[in-house]
Structure 1
């Protein structure tokens, strides 16, 4: 049997409360005891108000910190933790939500379907939003995935790859600002498509057609007053049935100004 060295993961615990002065101490103690009891290290702990800007600001700080591997969000009384996480997600772990609801169903029954548990890879860390059942989630879902002996797959084995690559661009939280796209985040600008220039497309399918430039000065505007007088004079002379030659009244357009170019004489 191959011996696998245990890995000590750096964990941050975020408690979300209606009143930050009165966090759920029991939930925090459960998460910390489970994590440290498995040999992992608690590197950060904080309590924030249950609001998207506050939660997202703290998450942004941790998922861009190379010293944080896993973030546990204790959100039993939160209505905003899951939505605060979404703009920061690089890759979703959908199986966690399904398994968490299955565990919660054994404890609270049908109310488990309303659970807003989330798990995702954000930047250089994994984030777990736990709306309850913290002990069961730690023992049966999270801690086994932080153990390299768990086969055939586990999350802890991918941590070195996350840390080795450059931290992904995570939107910077703006304190106190609420936007339609998400509280606490600036709007994302769409990527501009690459357009070939003339120097890049001399031949091939992307050739930019050459148009003959019309250097003639702009034509004079049509004299509407003169045109109306000619029509009135024609009607007065009982010549209304005779067609007025409007071409004589219109200014002559220079070659190419009407969009038509005469072919070059060979």
Structure 2
């Protein structure tokens, strides 16, 4: 069972939030705002925030820009994970991933099933790693962002979480590049 080890010190991570939408702006971005509020409440650092259109190349380009920055450890996108023709966020993420975190989508589906039943099959939430940066693609609803953060990311991005977490292996994500 997972738990927080209070004998360890909390280590904040630097997180960028990317909203994928053809129609939203910052003032109407409830999903992005939900993530920002949770990131900051947890004690992490909001490193950047942006909105891009539902265009695969624009999404992938922004992911690559943030991956190249030393001041960003994690990118969380919201929107564009569904099944319609304009939903291309998952494909853009996969264009960038070096490794996919397959279990992220599975665990997100399990969390969603408990909340919205079989409608959970319509989400293609995904996670991966590229250039030593974690990347997560969440659905565009505030509820889905709350569920992903509260049930998965809040714990996995907390260094004190046991038995293991994403933060403790962060220094080794790009070790293959340093061995050359």
TM-score, with length taken from structure 1 = 0.58
**Aligned: 1:149 with 2:149:** no
Residue 135 of structure 1 aligns to a residue whose secondary structure is helix
Give the aligned partner of residue 109 of structure 2.
101
Give the aligned partner of residue 38 of structure 1.
42
State the Cα distance separating 1:162 from its structure 2 match.
3.3
From 133, 155, 162, give the equivalent of 2:173: 162
The size of the alignment, in residue pairs, is 167
Contact 1:63 1:124 (C-alpha < 8 Å) held by counterparts:
yes
1:88-142 C-alpha deviation (Å, 9 max, x unpaired): 1111111110111112122322121121100001112101100141111101100
Residue 30 of structure 1 aligns to a residue whose secondary structure is helix
State the Cα distance separating 1:20 from its structure 2 match.
5.0
2-side partners of 1:26 and 1:20: how far apart?
9
State the Cα distance separating 1:166 from its structure 2 match.
4.4
Give the aligned partner of residue 225 of structure 1.
none
Comparing both structures, which one devotes a greater share of its residues to strand? Answer: 2
**Aligned: 1:123 with 2:127:** no
State the Cα distance separating 1:23 from its structure 2 match.
7.1
**Aligned: 1:53 with 2:53:** no
Could you tell which deviates more after superposition, 48-57 or 23-32?
A: 23-32
State the Cα distance separating 1:35 from its structure 2 match.
0.6
Gaps of 5+ in 2: none
Contact 1:15 1:73 (C-alpha < 8 Å) held by counterparts:
yes
The structure having more radius of gyration, on CA atoms, is: 1
1-side partners of 2:103 and 2:172: how far apart?
21
Output aligned runs, 1:169-208, within 5 Å. Answer: none
Output aligned runs, 1:1-20, within 5 Å. Answer: 3-19=7-23
Give the aligned partner of residue 91 of structure 1.
99
From 109, 118, 122, give the equivalent of 1:110: 118
Gaps of 5+ in 1: 168-266
1:154-191 C-alpha deviation (Å, 9 max, x unpaired): 10001122367748xxxxxxxxxxxxxxxxxxxxxxxx
Structure with higher RCO (Cα < 8 A, 6+ apart): 2
Residue 45 to residue 2, structure 1, CA distance change in 2 (3 Å): closer
Contact 2:113 2:120 (C-alpha < 8 Å) held by counterparts:
yes
